[in-house]
């Protein structure tokens, strides 16, 4: 059964202090706040300061597309047993990849690493149609865990190409989502990474253009590039609805809402997580110190010195348990007061493939 994703409330975080953090740490409901006392080890280290405020911008952590992708791999492991092969990381998070590897998932870069007739999962970032055809040719049992919002962009690219438009894809070269989207209509797709690229962009027909976007970019960055495209190509068309997904937008808005009062922003996410990097960059662009970390153990004591207010958030592919562990680590350096700051509620769920329901 699908598990509904809800954001952890303050009591969930406070009550989690001192736990081992085993498993994914699916959040539970609750409310309130609590002051934590410094751990003996760090009192001896001399890094305890005045009580700090820890802000938890919400939404944070898992989104519906990530939940669905991970649930697909877990369901396959439960139903069929290991191994379950996954093309590329199912989501861009080191914790989740290691967790699934320990349970029998095998992550590969190319299909030729997968034995004939084996089971293969396509990651949440999607794949090019050529990869799907190759899996079918080899007789692999393919299960598509592509986020439905990425599939939406693929469908938009296909429609635009069928209408003989050139697709101008806004995104980061080499990102798996971009590779997959460009593979939908490679002969009719060009990539734009920054607004400055627009001036030198070469297209077949400036009157027949459609722009699309990677789903995990910074909203402001995409808006800047779209404005540059519209100035140069007034007839360019866009998607029916924004391609930057709701989860990316909400997590950026939540961080933006606490930047003015934060001395430090800790973003939990892996280095290859686009949406996590954008959260860190947002904070730094606003003049606030920010660090991207996979685990609480990566926190440097000097980051916390003289920081009265610390915001802790997590990218859409990072599990909630890691937020608990980071807050616990901060509490070990001195007393803290934890406060939830919510800008939106998320209730969206994506169904699993029919065979796994």
Known binding positions for [4Fe-4S] cluster: 63, 147, 245
**R_g (Cα) of the chain, nearest Å:** 22
Distance, CA of 55 to chain centre: 20
Tokens 């699916």 appear where? 26
CA-wise closest residue to 214 among 197, 204, 226, 200? 226
List 177, 221, 325, 346, catalytic entry: 177
Angstrom distances, CA of residue 203 to CA of 172, 198, 297: 19, 11, 48
Q: Please check whether residue 274 is in contact with residue 176, taking contact to mean a CB–CB distance below 8 angstroms.
A: no
Nearest 5°: phi and psi at 297? -65, -15
Prior bond of 116 cis (ω within 30°) = no
How far apart, in whole angstroms, are the C-alpha atoms of residue 311 and residue 329? 13
State whether residue 105 is helix, strand or coil: strand
**221 included as an active-site residue:** no
DSSP class per residue in 205-257: -TTSEEEEE-TTS-HHHHHHHHHHHHHH-TT-B--SS-SS-HHHHHHHHHHHT
How far apart, in whole angstroms, are the C-alpha atoms of residue 216 and residue 1? 27
| Beta-sheet strands, E only, within the chain | 35-36, 52-58, 84-87, 105-108, 119-122, 141-144, 166-170, 189-192, 209-213, 264-268, 289-293, 309-314, 336-342
Tokens at 297, concatenated? 């153990």
By annotation, the residues acting in catalysis are 177
């Amino acid at each position: 059964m699908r598990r509904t994703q809800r954001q952890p409330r303050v009591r969930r975080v406070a009550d989690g202090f001192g736990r081992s953090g085993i498993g994914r740490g699916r959040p539970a409901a609750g409310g309130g706040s609590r002051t934590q006392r410094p751990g003996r080890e760090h009192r001896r280290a001399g890094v305890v300061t005045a009580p700090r405020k820890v802000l938890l911008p919400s939404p944070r952590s898992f989104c519906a597309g990530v939940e669905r992708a991970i649930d697909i791999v877990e369901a396959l492991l439960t139903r069929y047993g290991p191994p379950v092969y996954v093309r590329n990381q199912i989501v861009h998070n080191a914790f989740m990849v290691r967790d699934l590897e320990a349970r029998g998932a095998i992550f590969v870069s190319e299909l030729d690493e997968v034995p004939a007739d084996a089971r293969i999962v396509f990651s949440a970032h999607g794949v090019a149609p050529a990869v799907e055809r190759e899996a079918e040719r080899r007789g692999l049992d393919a299960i598509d865990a592509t986020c439905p919002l990425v599939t939406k962009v693929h469908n938009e690219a296909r429609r635009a190409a069928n209408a003989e438009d050139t697709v101008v894809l806004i995104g980061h070269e080499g990102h798996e989502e971009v590779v997959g989207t460009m593979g939908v209509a490679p002969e009719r797709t060009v990539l734009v990474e920054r607004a400055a690229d627009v001036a030198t962009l070469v297209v077949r027909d400036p009157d027949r253009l459609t722009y699309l976007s990677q789903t995990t970019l910074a909203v402001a960055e995409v808006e800047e590039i779209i404005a540059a495209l519209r100035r140069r190509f007034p007839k360019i068309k866009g998607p029916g609805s924004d391609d930057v997904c709701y989860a990316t937008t909400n997590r950026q808005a939540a961080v933006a809402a606490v930047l003015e009062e934060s001395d430090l922003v800790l973003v939990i996410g892996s280095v290859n997580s686009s949406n996590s990097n954008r959260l860190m960059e947002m904070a730094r662009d606003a003049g606030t110190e920010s660090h991207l970390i996979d685990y609480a153990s990566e926190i440097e004591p000097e980051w916390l010195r003289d920081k009265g207010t610390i915001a802790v958030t997590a990218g859409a592919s990072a599990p909630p348990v890691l937020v608990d562990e980071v807050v616990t680590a901060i509490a070990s350096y001195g007393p803290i007061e934890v406060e939830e700051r919510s800008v939106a509620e998320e209730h969206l769920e994506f169904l699993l493939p029919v065979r796994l329901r």
